[in-house]
Structures are given as C-alpha cells and as structure tokens.
Structure 1
C-alpha cells in the first residue's frame, strides 16, 4: 500500500514540477522556483538494485558538484530499507539525513481531541482569502528562518497553483477574531487525500486551532469520497504528537538525503 501513497506524493509534486522517469529513479524540477528543495529533487525508485544505491548517490553528488548546483535533494522510496551502516556512509559523503513518516488517519476518524470552536476554517476561494493565505505563508516561512525574498517567491508559486482552474490542490485558512492564524493544503486524487504544509502561528499553537483545521479538511475529504487520508511529517517534528493524538498512525517511512553549498 505504501507504494500507492508514494505515487500520490509524486503527483502532488507535479502540481509544481516537471518529471522525468529514468527507470530506477525520477527527476523533478520546477523552472519557476528552482531553489525549492521539495520540487527540485530525485526520487530513488523501489526497483533500484540495492547493491548499487550507494554508488548511485555518489554519482549524483559528483554530477551536482560538477554542475555547480546549489543543493542536491534525494528521496529514497519508502519500500527501500536503508541500513544504519548505509546512512553513515551517506553522512560521510556530506549529506544530512531526515526520516519522513507516512501517517494515515486510522478508520477515517479523528481521535478524542476536539478543535477550537471559536475559530472559522474555510477553503480559500476569494482573492482576499488567497491573499490572506499568501501573507500567512510568508510570515510562517520567515519565522522558520526562510529568507524573506524566497518566502515571497514560494507563496506566489503556491497561490498560482491554488488559483488554477480545476486545481486539485486546495488552500485552507483558520480565522480567529477575523485574523488568519493558520493555513494548510489539501490535495485530492483518486481515493486519496493528502494534508500538506500545515502551519499555525506560534501564539495560537496548542489551543485547538490546528485540530479545527484537520476536522474541516477531513470532513471535506470524506464528503468527496476519499478512502485514505494521510500526511507526511518529519520523525523529529513537533506536530507528530498532535497527529498521533488526533488519530493518525504511522504506516511507513522514507529517508531523505540533502546537501548544499551553504
């Protein structure tokens, strides 16, 4: 089943990026936002010969250095098991390693924690709502130490995709006292709904606003007939605890390798 979730991930990236399948790996690139790590990456597919994966990664790194790339982001398919010894070798090459957790909503039901009833969660549809989402995206990105200019470029790129006709990628906003304090994305395709880019302003965290957004998106996904609702979070990320309490369970994990000139 995890293979199907990874396929949805690939489809999500294609909202922003071009894709080239080279047999045992896929290359994604976004000409409009070439510095966005998530949209300019390599996916090592599940059919690669595991005996060659170390040399494959080393070759990609050599190419990146020769081409004077600013960064290299390699995602290893969640069906592939990466040993601790292999991770150490990747670290020795200069990569930072992140473990991404695939978390699926168990039985499509939220846990016992309830969302804050004093907020309003909406699916963006008006220009004002898209602009509110853009401003909030810039603010949360800068708070996460992203350079301001790039944060603006990223938010414009996202807004462009949200506003495309018949876009499968939807923007959600949480308003409290008429102020936008949280935002998230919902991507729906086939039987799947993916929750992505979840943020609540620091002063409003742990007050039920995030759960309120989850409730709204899950309700909309179920009304649309989606059978599998999931998200991906870093193994060490703080929101993981909230997701577990609200009914999400880990169904798989993948290794992501990253290195940059900086």
Structure 2
C-alpha cells in the first residue's frame, strides 16, 4: 500500500481482529475467519493488499475452496478497485461496495461541544454491558438479520466482559435511559471506533457528538494521537463524522460472492 496512513490503519485492523478471528497470511494476502460467527462479513474475508499477476486465478481458486467447504459467501477486500477485465474472468459475479476510512486528531476533542444533557459510562460492569445490548437490539430490531445482530453482540460481549483497558465499551444515557453505545479499541497508534449507534429518536441532537468527544478525550489522555472509523456511503452518521472533523484517509473495496445463488 502506497498510503502510509492506510498501512498503519490496516495494521491496527489486524491487531483488533485477532481478538475475534483466526488470521493467516500469505504472499499479498491475509485471511480472516471467525468460527463463532461464520456469517459475519466483516470478520470472514480475504484482504488482498496489492495487485499481482494471477489475481483472477487466485480469486477463482478461493471461490472453489469456499464452495467445497459449503460456504454461502466469499468476501474479498482490496485497497484498489478490481478492473472490469478481472471481474469478467471470475466464475461468480460479485456484489461490489466501497468503504471509507476516516481519521481525526484526538486533540480536536477541544473543538467539539455536543449535548451536555447525557452521561457516557464505560462498561465496567455487566449491567452497563446489558444496557448497551438493549441499545444494539433496538437499533437493529427492524433489520432482516436481527438474530445475527444478537449473536454478534453476544460474541463481542465475551471480549468486553474482560474489562481490558485496550477494549472499552461505552453506553450513552439520557435521563438514566440507555440511548446509545459504541465500541472502542485502543491500539498502538490509534483508537478504533466501532459499532456506533444512537437510537433514532435521539439522533441529530448532539448526543453522538458528545460520545465522539468523550472517546477522543479519553484517547488523548492515553497519548493516542489519532482515531479512525470505517463508514460506507449509506451510513447516516457520515455527515456527523464530517462535522466533527473526521477526514477521509483512504478507501477499500469489497467484493462479495454469494455462492448459494
């Protein structure tokens, strides 16, 4: 990767994912798999770091392996866009998408205001984690995969119940009711912001900004200079991130092959 900032972010991503996934690397590639959540796209994929001769043949061989293992999908992630020529040579036609990585300097917490009418609590007890679970359930209950989101949270809960300083879970309260939650991973060079939700009723009222400010201030006190998150074009919170001062650092493309169609 030519972008050194993105290289550092990908290194942090691996540092984060190792807590949930098994990781194997080969020439130009990294394979991630989560045996507890084999249907979770973000934890089961192959990262191809650079273009190389034979990439089309490589992807087709991985499709064949996934089929032999009766996998329903194969997800490929790249920091570059596959050419139309390569895609036409693949045995399955993928669904293509793009994600932006956005970064901010943690000292910028001083520029944020938010809504002071809330309390942000780190989950240092199972009760607070359970409050976060309620937010997660309410935020995703309308989705077709509500059962998946419950299984995903239960899996992550096992990590956050260790109350490790580097993996912190926060819940945002308004009038003592949980209205938002966010996960954060304090890594070598960054704090990673993950699975951030504010319940729809409380959006656009400054609560999300308050959560971001709290995370940045915490990271800054730990001498971590930058924070990052990943978002896609349909993410309704992207406008808030931009207003808070996040800037695009780079992007990745994903190619999902649905093998059971």
The TM-score with structure 1 as length reference comes to 0.89
1:119-161: CA deviations, max 9, x gaps?
A: 111111112101111222223232333232x222111111100
- Paired residue for 1:164? 162
Distance 1:228 1:243 in 2: 14
SS, match of residue 54 in structure 2: helix
Is 1:219 aligned with 2:223? Answer: no
- Paired residue for 1:229? 227
Distance 1:75 1:145 in 2: 24
Distance 2:86 2:233 in 1: 15
**Shift of the alpha carbon at 1:90?**
8.2
Deviates more, 1:112-121 or 1:247-256: 112-121
Distance 1:223 1:251 in 2: 23
- Paired residue for 2:254? 256
Unaligned residue ranges in structure 1 (runs of 5+): none
- Paired residue for 1:20? 24
SS, match of residue 244 in structure 1: helix
Deviates more, 1:31-40 or 1:6-15: 31-40
**Shift of the alpha carbon at 1:87?**
7.8
Aligned length: 256
Q: Is the 8 A contact 1:111 1:246 kept in 2?
A: no
Would the alpha carbon gap of residues 228 and 57 (structure 1) be closer, same or farther in structure 2, given more than 3 Å must change? Answer: same
SS, match of residue 55 in structure 2: helix
The TM-score with structure 2 as length reference comes to 0.89
SS, match of residue 234 in structure 2: coil
Deviates more, 1:85-94 or 1:159-168: 85-94
**Shift of the alpha carbon at 1:111?**
8.7
Paired residues for 1:180-219 under 5 Å: 180-219=178-217
- Paired residue for 1:67? 69
Q: Is the 8 A contact 2:112 2:213 kept in 1?
A: no
Would the alpha carbon gap of residues 24 and 134 (structure 1) be closer, same or farther in structure 2, given more than 3 Å must change? Answer: same
Would the alpha carbon gap of residues 230 and 91 (structure 1) be closer, same or farther in structure 2, given more than 3 Å must change? Answer: farther
Paired residues for 1:106-185 under 5 Å: 106=105, 108-110=107-109, 114-148=113-147, 150-164=148-162, 166=164, 168-185=166-183
**Shift of the alpha carbon at 1:209?**
1.0
SS, match of residue 255 in structure 1: strand
- Paired residue for 2:11? 7
Distance 2:163 2:82 in 1: 44
Distance 2:247 2:107 in 1: 11
Would the alpha carbon gap of residues 151 and 4 (structure 1) be closer, same or farther in structure 2, given more than 3 Å must change? Answer: same
Would the alpha carbon gap of residues 6 and 116 (structure 1) be closer, same or farther in structure 2, given more than 3 Å must change? Answer: same
